[in-house]
Homo-oligomer: A and B are copies of this chain.
Amino acid sequence: MVEYRADPAAVAAFLPPGVEPAPDPGAAAAIFAHWHWRSESEEEADDPERNQFNEFLILLACTAEGRPMARCPYAWVDGAIPMARGWIQGMPKQFGAVHLTHPKAVGRTGPHLVTGGVFHGIASQYGARIVKAGVTLGGRAAEPPALHTVPLVHTRHFPAWVPSDKPMSQLVASEVVDVEFGEIWEGEASLHFADDLPGDLASLAPVQVGGGFVFSYAETLCHGKALSRVRQSRDRAEVVAS
């Protein structure tokens, strides 16, 4: 995960009614993750082709219901099940090729989780590069990066197909429990967006690159909580100012 700053105006353009800019309005993160998931039926439990996937996503700091949250404007995964699961939650997941370095316990090549270890992430879609990122571990961090500890606020969207119908659109926050962090390492980071990205994705390219983090993380994703879309600008401003 690489913390970075995007253009605050570009970030604001991705926030729907009911979601406001954060006090620090350009804060963003680029996250590469390798996930192992388990359903209640466990029918995928013996198939590592199905129960593991890679993800790259962007998070934008924002405020909703008076609390710090994060908005995901773009995400790519390399499996169809996590893509569909994301849509049900309201994450705008697309299908892409995502690869990230796995830490190694021995040897001279794969990075170890020690000072100096170098980790990379790379993502592409339809044969065109989207992003490259790198982190060189400097040492242990006391806290996880801020954008990885706040709820995500998503818009569940399902288009209409019968002409007289309206699309479904529902603002929700994901509720998670059993959150666990492993060792958290931080260090210097690089983050490069490709040159020929579509316009609104290009608008989120870094204007400043912050620190990088490498860590293990686990959660149980329970369900969504509906958020009001009523814009409470004045109340929000007061909360933000407190």
Contact = CB atoms under 8 A, between A and B. Distances in A.
A183 B106 CA distance: 9
Interface in A146-187: 156, 158-159, 161-163, 165, 168, 170, 172, 178, 180-183
A132 B38 CA distance: 19
Nearest to A157: B158
B218 A108 contact: yes
Interface in A91-129: 94-95, 97, 99-102, 104-110, 118, 120-124, 126-129
Contacts of A95: 79-80
A95 B127 CA distance: 13
Contacts of A49: 97, 99, 122, 126-127
Number of copies of this chain that the complex holds:
4
A223 B160 CA distance: 9
Contact of A129 (B89, B129, B226): B129
A46 interface: yes
A171 B168 CA distance: 16
A134 interface: yes
B162 A106 contact: no
A218 B180 contact: no
Contacts of A45: 118
A7 to B, nearest CB: 24
Contacts of A170: 161-162, 165
A106, A121, A161, A223, most chain B CB atoms within 10 A: A161
Contacts of A80: 80, 83, 94-95
A222 B161 CA distance: 9
B195 A109 contact: no
A165 B110 CA distance: 31
Interface of A: 34, 36-38, 45-52, 79-80, 83-84, 87-90, 94-95, 97, 99-102, 104-110, 118, 120-124, 126-129, 132, 134, 156, 158-159, 161-163, 165, 168, 170, 172, 178, 180-183, 195, 216-220, 223-226
